């Protein structure tokens, strides 16, 4: 995939799933910003998709 396409896909994923994510909001409120961020990166399926796109960008 081309760099512009990957960036567009990542933006679309963030806008669609992460913008109003209830889990992220609850974790930020109850356990803090760092915990919510770590959850999104390591355990969330959407974060996994974003990580795969990021890995492709690095290639």
- Where exactly are the structural domains of the chain? 3-58
Q: 29 to each of 23, 39, 41, how far by Cα in Å?
A: 10, 13, 18
Would you place residue 59 in the very low, low, confident or very high pLDDT band (cuts 50, 70, 90)?
Answer: confident
The 10s digit of each residue's pLDDT in 27-47 is: 999 999 999 999 999 999 999
CA angle 16, 18, 19 (to 5 degrees): 75
For residue 55, is pLDDT > 80?
yes
CA distances from 19 to 10, 56, 59 (A): 12, 23, 27
User: Against a cut of 0.95, is the pTM above it?
Assistant: no
């Amino acid at each position: 995939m081309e760099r512009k396409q990957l960036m567009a896909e990542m933006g679309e994923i963030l806008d669609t799933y992460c913008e109003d994510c209830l889990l992220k909001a609850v974790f930020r409120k109850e356990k803090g910003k760092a915990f919510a961020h770590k959850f999104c990166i390591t355990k969330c399926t959407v974060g996994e998709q974003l990580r795969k796109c990021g890995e492709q960008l690095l290639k």
